[in-house]
Structure 1
């Protein structure tokens, strides 16, 4: 048996825009995610959107000026009527996304849509969105951007090359306080559809879809002061038919974080992940909890193929904002090469089903097979 290739190169963890001319991009939404991550990553990579809209036209104008976007529309309906735009980048709350996509699929000039996660308010709504885009012949990609975190992507490469052997156990341990969105209060959601969906999708990216999930949740005391919710701190175990187990502890409380100890507490904030296989192990950190500081994620791995030395590749790029070019690059590549998008909407339905299964599991205090959601 040939030994697996242990060396990683930039091509194994970086994603770049495809070569050649791109379809014109229009952006719907001008909030924090669009302004501080999408557009920053696009401009770094050399992609310049042509137009932007927001339900707050003043905000859209400010973001357009900051990112040198030439055309500003006062609502998404006006933007969708611009027949120069072939790709639409949507960054709106999940309870609005369906209506935007329903309008977008009516426009024959639109070839691709990059939608936010969660794709819908639930699995059934996500199915509706996927079917709308398929019927219209529009390539739909979902912005599951943790797949493009550099340590996550590099780990996938190790798994594909069988450097670690057969996966046995994988874990993600998160002790971090996310930047919550204001619309979450009206929806009553906190972690499962917003933060945990990244980890669930990452497990799927690494290993495929599990058979069942067991989830346990409780409210986050800090956020509970502002609005009622159930899915604050989320703990869950994924069971795969081949025996693999994966688990994540999504602790968005992470401690009191009061002013008196806030500075000292920062050393206890972070995300660590680990994959153990029959022929090696990999461990890493995710750098985003230190944002706005640019802290790259890390990866260390050890294999029986080279048992005397840890491999420790490093890079300067960070998830927030650099990796946000990944989903758009994949969408543009699929459109310009007439190929399948790796972040396609139909694949994302399996992530949405897993999230809904986690909610059901937590509500009924039992393990839930994903097929209970999809059938």
Structure 2
């Protein structure tokens, strides 16, 4: 039988419009049944545009709808914790945008609330669902480059005007490049290396009230040193990831993106070759894993624990930049 899952959108967001609604509807038996916006007119227009039956102006109203089985939270970052905890208390499964919360106490509270309620919790770290990153992980874990030694992530982009808003103007809402992009880098490296970051050093720059550029180094518990360059204000750098080991290197170009694009190359003593990829929609891939988890058939692509640990790395980067000191990554 087809598994039924009714989604409530907590936030009439751009990411839901551009990616998540389609990814949800691509899953057999899934439908988007309600959307929450604090602006009634905007919510109604959003619902009409996307064929969503119901719009709500309160989280309580959305959660009271028996047609809502799961929520996707894509509001500003400071709202995630209260909304996720309320959803868990109402017995709804939770898919929350990154960062899971603004601080570790709130992130842990979300995990604990979902555990108590027996609902699935996932963090929307979409990059680990990319065919490129899954191939890189397989190469690294399979020993293709020997012992991993170093990594480099370059994720400096020009943030489109329609996505700026609170991300560049509202520190109180969790704006800034570190909680928006560096947290993704940390999660991607955790996934590829199967290792945890243990300390950070960093410097940031800012043209406004939040940091819009950062260079950081994370040390992982397997000894890997990872260099990160993230920005909102760089138009032509391209993105990529490199993993360098004792017997070879993996070079991924244009892969730190929502789109299923880019190329992965393996270099070793035998020369250089392009790794075949089978690209797929990152969000649909994550939603498929979420559906399986709801059915008790595995774990989501990125769990609540993943959300906590990747947030801890991003917070350590922020603290290291603030103090100028090497900063331990503490996820407890």
TM-score calculated relative to the size of structure 1: 0.79
Q: Determine which structure has greater relative contact order: mean sequence separation of CA pairs < 8 Å that are 6+ residues apart, divided by chain length.
A: 1
Report the equivalent of 2:213.
233
Report the equivalent of 2:223.
243
1:30 offset after TM fit, Å? 0.9
**Kept in 1: contact 2:132–2:255 (CA 8 A):** no
**Kept in 2: contact 1:300–1:312 (CA 8 A):** yes
Report the equivalent of 1:357.
316
Report the equivalent of 2:265.
300
- The answer on 1:284 being equivalent to 2:252 is yes
- The answer on 1:102 being equivalent to 2:102 is no
Which whole-Å CA distance do the structure 1 matches of 2:218 and 2:256 have between them? 24
Report the equivalent of 1:127.
108
| C-alpha RMSD over aligned residues | 2.4
Which whole-Å CA distance do the structure 2 matches of 1:93 and 1:135 have between them? 25
The structure 1 residue matched to 2:180, chosen from 186, 194, 203, is: 194
Counterparts of 1:266-281 in structure 2, within 5 Å, are 268-281=236-249
TM-score calculated relative to the size of structure 2: 0.88
Report the equivalent of 1:137.
118
Aligned residues: 325
Which whole-Å CA distance do the structure 1 matches of 2:246 and 2:75 have between them? 43
The structure 2 residue matched to 1:163, chosen from 130, 134, 144, is: 144
**Kept in 1: contact 2:263–2:274 (CA 8 A):** no
2:112 partner SS: helix
Counterparts of 1:1-375 in structure 2, within 5 Å, are 20-44=2-26, 47-108=30-91, 110=92, 112-179=93-160, 180-184=163-167, 185-187=169-171, 189-207=175-193, 208-219=195-206, 221=207, 224=208, 228-229=209-210, 231-254=211-234, 268-286=236-254, 296-304=261-269, 307-315=270-278, 317=280, 322-371=281-330, 374=332
Gaps of 5+ in 2: none
1:357 offset after TM fit, Å? 1.1
In our comparison, the structure showing a higher alpha carbon Rg is: 1
1:333 offset after TM fit, Å? 1.1
Report the equivalent of 1:3.
none
Question: Residue 106 and residue 314 in structure 1: after superposition, are their counterparts in 2 closer, same or farther (change >3 A)?
Answer: closer
Question: Residue 22 and residue 300 in structure 1: after superposition, are their counterparts in 2 closer, same or farther (change >3 A)?
Answer: farther
1:106 offset after TM fit, Å? 2.4
Residues 77-121 of structure 1, C-alpha deviations (whole Å, 9 max, x = no match)? 21100122221111111111222123222214x2x1001111111
